[in-house]
Amino acid sequence: MVRKFKDKIKQKKAVVAVIGLGYVGLPLAVEFAKKGFRAIGVDLDKKKTGSINTGNSYIPDISSAEMRPLVKKGMLHATHDYSKLKEADAIIICVPTPLRKTKDPDMSFIISAADAIAKNLRRGQVIVLESTTYPGTTDEVMLPKLEATGLKNGKDFCLGFSPERIDPGNSRFMTHNIPKVVGGITNICRDNIALLYSQIVEKVIPVSSVRVAEMVKLLENTFRSVNIGLVNELALMCDDMKIDVWEVIEAAKSKPFGFMPFYPGPGLGGHCIPIDPLYLAWKARSQGFEARFIDLASQINADMPMHVAERTARALNMRFCKALRCSKVLIVGLSYKKNVTDTRESPAYEVIEKLKERGASVSYYDPFVPESEFRGHKMKSIKLTPSELKKYDCAVIVTDHSDVDYDIIVKNSKFILDTRNALSNIKTDRSKIERL
């Protein structure tokens, strides 16, 4: 099995299937196709598969011009038919791993993918889980389902874990040049998976087990969550003390050692940082260990949208003797981070909710998100014109997109709360700007 798989990889005859064609899966499938491997994308969303098969990308990091030749040559094909997994020599799982309302891991997507693979499993296949999850998922959830077929790991097939590290909107670090951590149930599995990824990434980092590999991603995102929580708490403290937290951070980062700058904001967004640490905290509790840093950071970060609403209310009251109730507020930026279309877990939604709870009328502007729906309410981005901006009592910058005309916002807004320090280079009329 090992020899045949290696030969197929070296001869570019291996077929690679990717389950889940979102921000992680589609770039991965495209990268394998670009390197000469036939790639099959599997997703139950027929809009996604149809878009791919017509050569139209829905992911900003992948251009349609890059994808169309691959589709035309037959190197990239998408389907919602899981039986196509039988054709694959390698299967990579890139499905979502959300949280339940109880903050427990929702493993349903991984379990569904594992069941589909088991139904179509054959000898010689290499299976890799990339979806972020708690340590133990690969060997406790995936492995029993696959071995229930009668095939044995390390003998008939190989199973392992490699954490995804995609950073949507990052033009410097993409799939091919982000180091890839890989772990296998056995050393043979690890070596096969390392060989697979070495075809498309510049550096592969093998680790001793799947649990180490699973923990790596959780450490990376917990590190960010805890440090963002720390600086958010510092921002709340500085606000109370009438100290500019942005000036504090700018001065502190002049230290050439022992300090790494993190920045406050309106809350955490995206599919990783707000969620992954809670996977780790849940697993820790199941082992009788309380992850106090993680829980505290998550609480602080989750409270930031309320702080933004309170700051907005305070500013309207102090500046214009106006209550938030019946005020018109414009949210600038709806996506969870700058220069992306992704709104998953975006703090902008929570800011909107908190403002509406206090009676404000809220609209938004985002060039990357022309329309959206949140909790049953459909919204459309306004047009960024002087006449439109003058309708609002204040603007709140929640996402600092690069190509927004901030000059027009400053010139035509009555007041601006900048939660991202996006207006740091604006030199004129700073009297109407407050920073978080």
Q: Which of 404, 246, 386 is nearest to 335 (CA)?
A: 404
Which entry of 238, 272, 321, 326 is annotated as an active-site residue?
272
Q: Which of 149, 87, 157 is nearest to 119 (CA)?
A: 149
Domains and CATH numbers, the chain: 2-213 (3.40.50.720), 224-435 (3.40.50.720)
Mean pLDDT of 80-87: 96
Provide the pLDDT for residue 171.
Answer: 86
Q: For residue 293, which amino acid is it?
A: F
272 catalytic? Reply is yes
Provide the pLDDT for residue 213.
Answer: 97
Residue 167 clears pLDDT 80, i.e. is over it: yes
Mean pLDDT of 232-244: 96
- On the CB side of 282, CA atoms within 13 Å amount to 19
Average pLDDT, the chain: 94
What are the backbone dihedrals phi and psi of residue 76, each rounded to the nearest 5 degrees, phi first?
-135, 125
Residue with tokens 């820790």: 284
Please spell the DSSP secondary structure of 150-178, one letter per residue.
Answer: T--BTTTBEEEE------TT-SSS-GGGS
- Return the minimum-mean-pLDDT range out of 95-99, 125-129, 179-183, 222-226: 95-99
For residue range 365-409, list pLDDT tens digits in order: 999 999 998 878 899 999 999 999 999 999 999 999 999 999 999
Provide the pLDDT for residue 170.
Answer: 86
CA-based R_g, the chain, Å = 24
Residue 3 clears pLDDT 90, i.e. is over it: no
Residue 428 clears pLDDT 90, i.e. is over it: no
- Asked if residues 291 and 225 have their Cβ atoms less than 8 Å apart, the reply is no
Whole-model pTM? 0.92
Strand partners, 42: 19, 79
Residues 77, 75: Cα–Cα separation, whole Å: 7
